Amino acid sequence: MSMLKTKTEIFNLQNMLPFLRAIFAIGNLLCFVVNTLVNWLLPRKPPTYPPIRDAVLLKSVGELVNDIRKKKITSQKLVKTYIERIKAVNPSLNAVLEDRFEQAIKEAEHADNLIAKANSEQLIALFSRYPLLGIPFTVKESTGLKGLSFAVGNIHRKNIKCEQDSEVVERLRSAGCIPLLVSANPEFCMSYETNTKMNGKCRNPYDLNRVSGGSSGGEGSLNGCGASTFGLGSDLGGSIRLPSMFCGVFGHKATASLLSVKGNYPSCDDPRLVNYLTTGPITRFAKDLPILLQVMAGDNYKKLKFHEPIAVKDIKVYYAYGFSGFAKLTHQPTDLDIQLAITKAVKCFEKGGLITKEIKLDRFENAREIGLRALTELQGVPSVTGQSHPSKKTLIWQVLLSLVGKSQHNRDAVFMEWMRLEKVYISDKEAEDFRVERKALKEYLVDMLGENGVLLVPTFPTSAFAFNTGTLNLVGVDLMLIFNILGLPATHVTMGLDKRGLPIGFQVVAAPYQDKLCLQIAAELEGAFGGWVPPIPNDIKS
């Protein structure tokens, strides 16, 4: 027995990584086949909600602040217009978990009273203190909005309400913003599709048969159809960038620790979490990102050195389309339309005189394994089962039940927790090798990008996929999760629609605290290619 145990341990430690990669290769093939079949066979379900008919819904945050300050529009009018839009679209999208519309209207009335009483000098002081006074916004449930649902898709937390605003919500409210609601997210934010046992499917605003992404899926859906000025999301492995891509908007994952995650759920006391998880803005307008980031970052905004601008012509652009060589076997191929979007961006910058260079992603070959192993090392993460220390057998049983629709939890949530407890079948020796490789990869990127370089890479290999295929599509996590683990800022840039009428785009990555480069490139591309494309043509009456 002792000899057998020893051999088993040796097998587990030395041979499971090749086994894991073989599983990834099989999963990659299955994912490709399933997505291809879905794209052939699944009929498009066009939006059933009405088009935008009020031009106010087409204005950026910056424009709206200016209009409110100049008393061209009241906050009450703005808030009520967005409430009407939300009510019009939500029956189709199922993006709202709980609203606070009545309180929001009262807060808008208060903002209007402050503005009405102020003379020109007092207005300057008022908006200096409250730079986003009267602007409504929407909030991902897991980021914490006082008094509203804080269940995060989990049956054991069904009636839990948030007791206190998260730190970033507090900063936005202190700047004069008015929260309207909390939006849908997957159970414990552990899925690439927002589809829970408690709340059902949150749908893509461009095709109701497809996902809005995860985990900030509700924010992606609302922003994508023009039902929010901007949304507050969170990102641990692409949870801002993926919904932004699938729903045709912009989303920014900030440099590690720049934005507070205090008050988010699920959370833990492990100090490494704040280096991986971040909150951030989701918006239709790239030009709003610097405005929002300044408020969300608080005093940390000084670290971004926005007062030291870099001319666009001095930015170096590196880019890659996807994996090559042997790595292709364990990574999804990038859709041609996404590759073409990167090419269009590169050609645009070349015409503007910028230096561009294509790079290979050889150094990212183990990105998925590096990222997943880093997440498994987090201590004190709460369990979806409600138990303090669930056994692996309990989780495996819940995974099996979820396959036949009998679990009270979502498949991706229990599957990801099981993988975390199993440490993704990576031995401690291999984990140490990955830590060394992770450090080397970050040093390589920081050295390459410097203070004036950006990297354009796919956010995700394909446009929005079908419901109930999220588990397979987890194989596409690598080029999102790795930048969380490395702590680099990344902005998803929307670049129009693919041949199926679904949004596509890519992410812009920079060195730590060079977020301004990501936002600058996003704004340039928005100007050059138009940015957000409404799911339904607007019907604005002149």
Q: What is the SS3 string spanning 259-287?
A: CCCCCCCCCCCCCCHHHHCEEEEEECCHH
Q: How confident is the model at residue 16 (pLDDT cuts 50, 70, 90)?
A: low
What tokens does 533 get? 């494309």
Q: Chain centroid to CA 441: how far?
A: 23
pLDDT at 9: 40
Q: How confident is the model at residue 18 (pLDDT cuts 50, 70, 90)?
A: confident
Does 10 score more than 60 pLDDT? no
What tokens does 174 get? 């202190």
Q: How confident is the model at residue 541 (pLDDT cuts 50, 70, 90)?
A: confident
pLDDT at 392: 86
The answer to whether 444 and 363 are in contact (CB under 8 A) is yes
Total tally of structural domains belonging to the chain: 1
pLDDT at 542: 64
pLDDT, one tens digit per residue, over 345-359 is 999 999 999 999 999
CA max distance for the chain: 86
437 assigned to some structural domain: yes
Amino acid at 487: G
Closest residue by Cα to residue 186 from 166, 200, 170 = 200
Q: What is each CA distance from 528 to 63, 267, 367, 388, in whole angstroms?
A: 20, 40, 32, 52
Strands 453-457 vs 316-319: parallel, antiparallel or unpaired: parallel
Q: How confident is the model at residue 420 (pLDDT cuts 50, 70, 90)?
A: confident
Kindly report the length of the chain: 542
**Portion of the chain with pLDDT greater than 90, in percent:** 88
Q: What is each CA distance from 82 to 138, 251, 541, in whole angstroms?
A: 10, 20, 17
509 assigned to some structural domain: yes
Ramachandran category for residue 263: left, alpha or beta (phi over 0 → left; psi -120 to 50 → alpha)? left
538 assigned to some structural domain: no
pLDDT at 15: 52
Measure the CA–CA gap between 212 and 111, rounded to whole angstroms: 33
pLDDT at 277: 98
pLDDT, one tens digit per residue, over 186-228 is 999 999 999 999 999 999 999 999 999 999 999 999 999 999 9
Measure the CA–CA gap between 521 and 460, rounded to whole angstroms: 19
SS3 content of the chain, % helix, strand, coil (to 5): 50, 10, 40
314 assigned to some structural domain: yes
11 assigned to some structural domain: no
Q: How confident is the model at residue 429 (pLDDT cuts 50, 70, 90)?
A: confident
Does 450 score more than 90 pLDDT? yes
445 assigned to some structural domain: yes
In this structure, what CATH number is given to the domain that contains residue 352?
Answer: 3.90.1300.10
Catalytic residues: 140, 215, 239
pLDDT at 21: 79
How many C-beta atoms surround the C-beta of residue 117 within 10 A? 10
Q: Average pLDDT of the chain?
A: 94
The answer to whether 248 and 497 are in contact (CB under 8 A) is yes
Measure the CA–CA gap between 178 and 169, rounded to whole angstroms: 10
pLDDT, one tens digit per residue, over 341-393 is 999 999 999 999 999 999 999 999 999 999 999 999 999 999 999 999 998 89
Measure the CA–CA gap between 316 and 314, rounded to whole angstroms: 6
Does 5 score more than 50 pLDDT? no
Measure the CA–CA gap between 189 and 484, rounded to whole angstroms: 15
5 assigned to some structural domain: no
341 assigned to some structural domain: yes
Q: What is the DSSP string of 411-470?
A: HHHHHHHHHHHTGGG--HHHHHHHHHHHHHHHHHHHHHHTTTEEEEE-SSSSS--BTT-H
132: containing domain: 16-41+60-529
Does 4 score more than 50 pLDDT? no
Does 7 score more than 70 pLDDT? no
200 CB contacts (<8 Å, ≥6 apart)? Answer: 94
